[in-house]
Amino acid sequence: MATKTGFRLKGKSRDSYLELVLDFPLASIKSERHLAEAQKMLDRLLANGALNQGEETYLEALSDLVGTYEDQHHAIEPASDAEMLRHLMGAKGVSQIQLSRQTGLPKSSVSEILAGKRPFSRQMIRKLAAYFDVEVSLLAANI
């Protein structure tokens, strides 16, 4: 029995969505080969530029399926505290000394983190998140 929802595609958007589903059905990705085919379809859609609502809806659903498979089979470990701090400093273009002065964190603490000798403390996370204007959770991934 079909369930009625408030979401409907009409006209050209519906036609383009259904054509895409017929070309590459939306189903859980079960293998690397299936993943490669899904990625080809994503690339094809993204190369088109402007998409209609049906194409956008299909792209979002297929992206979710690819993301779910990749999360299960190609998980990426969170960056270490040293890697994260190095990246943020590079993106902002600040040195260790500038970071220390502008956040009030001791130079030795910044050096130890960058050398991988110590992790972020909760106090450091709050200061760094405010300084780099990022979510606290980004820096707290390893706690």
Q: Residues 43-52: pLDDT tens digits?
A: 999 998 889 9
Q: Residues 82-95: pLDDT tens digits?
A: 999 999 999 999 99
CA gap 60, 35 in Å, rounded = 15
pTM score, whole prediction = 0.58
User: Is the model's pLDDT at 26 over the cut of 90?
Assistant: yes
Average pLDDT over residues 75-79: 84
Amino acid at 17: Y
CA gap 111, 95 in Å, rounded = 11
Whether the Cβ atoms of residue 103 and residue 114 lie closer than 8 Å to each other: no
Assign 54 to helix, strand or coil. helix
User: Is the model's pLDDT at 134 over the cut of 80?
Assistant: yes
Half-sphere exposure of 10 (CA within 13 A, CB side): 3
Average pLDDT over residues 62-89: 93
User: Is the model's pLDDT at 119 over the cut of 60?
Assistant: yes
More confident residue, 7 or 26: 26
Whether the Cβ atoms of residue 12 and residue 54 lie closer than 8 Å to each other: yes
Query: Which domains, and CATH codes, for the chain?
Result: 11-73 (no CATH), 81-139 (1.10.260.40)
Whether the Cβ atoms of residue 39 and residue 70 lie closer than 8 Å to each other: no
